[in-house]
Structure 1
Amino acid sequence: MVLQLKKSVAFVLFLCLQIVLFLGMNRLLLSLPRKCTETSESTDLSSRLAGRREPHIKEASLTDKEPVRILCFIPTTPDNGERLTAVRETWGKRVDKMLFLSSETNQNQTIISLNVTEGRHFLWGKVKAAFKYIYKHHINDADWFMKADDDTYVIVENLRKMLERENTTQLMLFGDRVKNPNNLNVTHADGGAGYVISKATLRKLVEVGLKNASLCSQREQGNEDVTMSRCLERLGVPHRDSRDDHGKHRFFRISVEMYFDMSVPKYKRKIEYYPTVQGKDCCSENLVSMHKISPSKMYMFDYLLYKVRPQSQRC
């Protein structure tokens, strides 16, 4: 009897000890800092950012639309190696085909040699030769053809998004539309910000325009963007509004920083075809191109756009 009583007391003490240990461990765990976990917002954001690299491929798998194919060419000089390397290693790798064209090739054969005279005053001749070369060798490699400078930075995904609802079989020109300082009634697409033409426009430019002196200048000298726009206008190519649905600019011929700083000079505002908006609401969320970008800034923009991963966490 005594032995049974001792066993009962021991069992009760054992249960009490287990309860005390359980309560103590539970209090200890509650006092420890909880590990933060990523919210669904963070997961969705990471997924969207990860998909930024080649969104046109992803879209093609979800819809019946064909991917928007873009060829970009840059008229340059063989000694601009640092700029060309920056373009090639950043936004240039996101277009379907990137071409660098000049009067002679470089050591590693990355520049295509054209039979043209070198020099800024002969840029129209170089651009004409470039379009002829592209028409002959690459017209079936893309649906849209963009001319840019070697200090232009392009967000290719936004360019594709802008063009996906357009018909490449129709004549059209996109770019930053500006007025001629000497004649404000005449406008052109600024070459620094880059301009884009459809395949139908390229075909008509080369097959008709560049062969006809009454339509396109046969000289080699001239401002290429002014001369090109005049040529396309005579060919009946409309200059489409390149702003977004909210009327905000997507192509910028001068530093975007000036728009945010509200420091765009008056003489530059005077020649803008569309109203100038400065400050934090200056620019489209679907920005396409920026001019006057140094190689170091190209790498910086690429880092901020494609490598930074904002983390949204909640405890």
Structure 2
Amino acid sequence: MSIKKCFFILIIFVVIINICIYFNISINKVLSSIKQLLPINLNEENPSFEEISNFLYNNVTIFCLIHSSPQYKNTRAIHQKATWLKRCNDYIFVSSDEDKDLPAIKGGDKDGYKFSNERVRYGLTYVYENYGDKYDWFFKGDDDTYVIMENLRAFLLLRNPYIDQYYGFKFILEDEYISGAAIILSKSTLKKLVTIAFKNNAICSNQSDVPDDLEIGNCLRSINILPMDSRDSLNKHMFVPTTLDEFSTNLKGGRYDGFVKMSSYEIKKGYPSLSEYPISFHYIHGDMFYSLEYLFYHANVIGKESDIYEHNKILYKILFTLFNISVNENSFILKQFVPNNCNVENSDFEEISDFLYNNVSIFCLIHSSPKYKNTRAIHQKATWLKRCNNYIFVSSNEDKDLPAIKGGMKDGYEFSNERIRYGLTYVYENYGDEYDWFFKGDDDNYVIMENLRAFLLLRNPYIDQYYGFKLKLNHEYMSGAGFILSKSALKKMVTIAFKNNTICSNKPNIPEDVEFGNCLKNINILPMDSRDSLNKHMFIPSTFNEFSSLIKDSHYDGFVRMSPYELKKGYSSLSKYPISFHYVNGDMFYGLEYLFYHANVIGKESDVYKYNKNSCNSNLNVLSLELKKFAKKFYKFNTK
């Protein structure tokens, strides 16, 4: 057996041990249940995401039953099919009408949630009779559920499907039951539910007009199968019974308070109560299926990696301790994957983030309004804005708490030119010499600062540069996603363009983004290509929902018409390392913070580590070299 295959076996063992610890379960009889240990073609020391995903797919088989309705086929069901549902080992919908395209089986004559018990009961019976022997686990969800299947499989990997188990978000009404984020039943549980509980109406009601989740909880309890603790080892929730933004926000109100009252466990407001490896979300519609697909499987933050890759550090300890290996002139076989004097194989996210923070200094100017202080500005402060090297808001009123400077007398977007012109002048006069780059955004922008800094890492702030999402009206300009000016460009804009009203209008009532593009053009500073090396967009001038979705949208069509570049619908046009989004409000600031900095998919790795496999030092010189290698490969450096 090759060294790489031996290495992969050790990796799998350590991954299993880590999953045991993370999900707080026993390793008893685990190894005998593993069906596939080695991939056919192993090319790398670290297994790829595809290898890990395939390993989980082959070892944890899950059938997915989705409760739907004909009225939601085009707004929900087909979008589930296009995204996460394809990762189930098999699936079927149950609806009030048969539909061979989905496919959906007919379960009862009456449509609507109030008749869900009859429909879901029929669906579970159908699944048991047709697929009960073929699969180990059975997932029942709604057509507005989104599931990260790799995380679900990791959660189930060491659990025995031949014993009774029932997982999900646990509620308590009169008794405990699973609801909202869908339910997971083991093979044994499904069999007993269908062959015992469903056969006895005295212990399991067959009334059509009762909620299915509540009644299934009653049925299972009547045969001594109770909801199990489905949190991770830190008591954080993996099955999320509502939207991502509602559960991750610090804002009060909404359905969240109801979940707090009915939950069997304490729920703290905000994303600290959510697991690093979430499994499912609820109340997802249309565009948002594609957004979550993009954010979980395609987008990333520079330097962020899955905990799975921590196995490297543990593996070396195992190798050296158990086999008494020393690295010397005789260990030539091991040198291909154990570097000399190796203490830390990969720099961690904090090191990379700190390195970028200290080497790419960015001042952030945010255009706001007093009326948006509590719905936008304070939530920017609580999330991404704290990663700027410094920042200030410019508004129609001074506000020392934010802080905000006063720029002009009149509020409203139509007077933005006066306000931002004042703000940029203030920033140049007070901070122009202190920072290298200057970001101007709105109070509804969200920015991944690590990705912005990586984009700027190899660029010279002492030459004129102007980046963002490029639009074309009469001339090209940056709009929507905020824009970035180099130190040199800001200086010329303030000291030359702003001083001459014939080349840069000081009228207060014109859109600032269009006018600033004109001002910069008149001093020979043109918008630069701000896409990555694959021509994918990093500065996104609208919501991630709108840009990642395949659903047609007239607002999006406006960007297509005005963009000088081809803009394909869907997340295939978006960069793996996005920089900014627009039209973000309240709850969603925290939703994005959770997704980008706290949530993960089992096995997903940052590209930065692909350039660091043969390096063992975590000093700044090595880190700088690895980041520069990545930046040279990933970003464009042409000027137009």
Shorter chain as denominator, the TM-score bin is 0.7 to 0.9
C-alpha deviation, 1:167, in angstroms = 0.6
C-alpha deviation, 1:59, in angstroms = 5.7
**What secondary structure, in the 3-state scheme, does the structure 2 residue paired with 1:257 have?**
helix
Deviations 1:81-102 (A, max 9, x none): 2201110011101110121111
Alignment correspondent of 1:7: none
Deviations 1:31-56 (A, max 9, x none): 943599999634469x9999445624
**What secondary structure, in the 3-state scheme, does the structure 2 residue paired with 1:244 have?**
coil
Higher Cα Rg: structure 1 or 2? 1
Alignment correspondent of 1:297: 588
Alignment correspondent of 1:142: 435
Q: 1:246 to 1:48 in 2, by over 3 A?
A: farther
Residues 171 and 201 of structure 1 are in contact (CA less than 8 Å); yes or no, is this contact kept in structure 2?
yes
Residues 471 and 559 of structure 2 are in contact (CA less than 8 Å); yes or no, is this contact kept in structure 1?
no
Q: 1:117 to 1:279 in 2, by over 3 A?
A: closer
Letter matched to residue 477 of structure 2:
H
Alignment correspondent of 2:381: 88
Q: 1:94 to 1:43 in 2, by over 3 A?
A: farther
Alignment correspondent of 1:232: 520
C-alpha distance in structure 2 between counterparts of 1:92 and 1:248, whole Å: 25
Residues 69 and 142 of structure 1 are in contact (CA less than 8 Å); yes or no, is this contact kept in structure 2?
yes
C-alpha deviation, 1:216, in angstroms = 0.7
**Structure 1 residue 70 and structure 2 residue 366: aligned?**
no
**TM-score normalised over the length of structure 1:** 0.78
Q: 1:107 to 1:171 in 2, by over 3 A?
A: closer
Alignment correspondent of 2:578: 287
C-alpha distance in structure 2 between counterparts of 1:94 and 1:166, whole Å: 20
C-alpha distance in structure 2 between counterparts of 1:109 and 1:155, whole Å: 20
C-alpha distance in structure 2 between counterparts of 1:305 and 1:294, whole Å: 16
**TM-score normalised over the length of structure 2:** 0.40
C-alpha distance in structure 2 between counterparts of 1:307 and 1:163, whole Å: 24
Residues 517 and 526 of structure 2 are in contact (CA less than 8 Å); yes or no, is this contact kept in structure 1?
no
**What secondary structure, in the 3-state scheme, does the structure 2 residue paired with 1:33 have?**
coil
Alignment correspondent of 2:455: 162
**What secondary structure, in the 3-state scheme, does the structure 1 residue paired with 2:564 have?**
coil
Q: 1:167 to 1:58 in 2, by over 3 A?
A: closer
The aligned runs of 1:1-315 (5 Å cut-off) are: 32-34=28-30, 41-43=309-311, 51-53=348-350, 55-58=352-355, 67-81=359-373, 82-106=375-399, 108=401, 110-180=403-473, 183=474, 186-190=475-479, 192-262=480-550, 263-265=552-554, 266-311=557-602
Deviations 1:184-215 (A, max 9, x none): xx22110x210000000111111111001222
**Which ranges of structure 2 fall in alignment gaps of 5 or more residues?**
1-26, 32-156, 159-305, 314-343, 604-640
Alignment correspondent of 2:130: none
C-alpha distance in structure 2 between counterparts of 1:309 and 1:260, whole Å: 19
C-alpha distance in structure 2 between counterparts of 1:50 and 1:109, whole Å: 34
C-alpha distance in structure 2 between counterparts of 1:39 and 1:117, whole Å: 50
Residues 51 and 58 of structure 1 are in contact (CA less than 8 Å); yes or no, is this contact kept in structure 2?
no
C-alpha distance in structure 2 between counterparts of 1:39 and 1:128, whole Å: 45
Structure 1, 146-155 or 277-286: larger mean CA deviation: 277-286
C-alpha distance in structure 2 between counterparts of 1:197 and 1:134, whole Å: 12
Q: 1:49 to 1:304 in 2, by over 3 A?
A: farther
Residue identity (%): 26
C-alpha distance in structure 1 between counterparts of 2:345 and 2:376, whole Å: 30
Letter matched to residue 368 of structure 2:
T
Q: 1:284 to 1:39 in 2, by over 3 A?
A: closer
Alignment correspondent of 1:9: none
Structure 1, 278-287 or 156-165: larger mean CA deviation: 278-287
Deviations 1:58-85 (A, max 9, x none): 368xxxxx60001111111122122011
Deviations 1:109-140 (A, max 9, x none): 62222344323221100011001100111112
C-alpha distance in structure 2 between counterparts of 1:85 and 1:49, whole Å: 35
Pairwise CA RMSD of aligned residues?
A: 2.8
Residues 174 and 189 of structure 1 are in contact (CA less than 8 Å); yes or no, is this contact kept in structure 2?
yes
Q: 1:54 to 1:219 in 2, by over 3 A?
A: farther
**What secondary structure, in the 3-state scheme, does the structure 2 residue paired with 1:305 have?**
helix
Letter matched to residue 366 of structure 2:
I
Alignment correspondent of 2:302: none
Letter matched to residue 252 of structure 1:
I
Residues 114 and 129 of structure 1 are in contact (CA less than 8 Å); yes or no, is this contact kept in structure 2?
yes
Deviations 1:282-301 (A, max 9, x none): 21011101111122111011
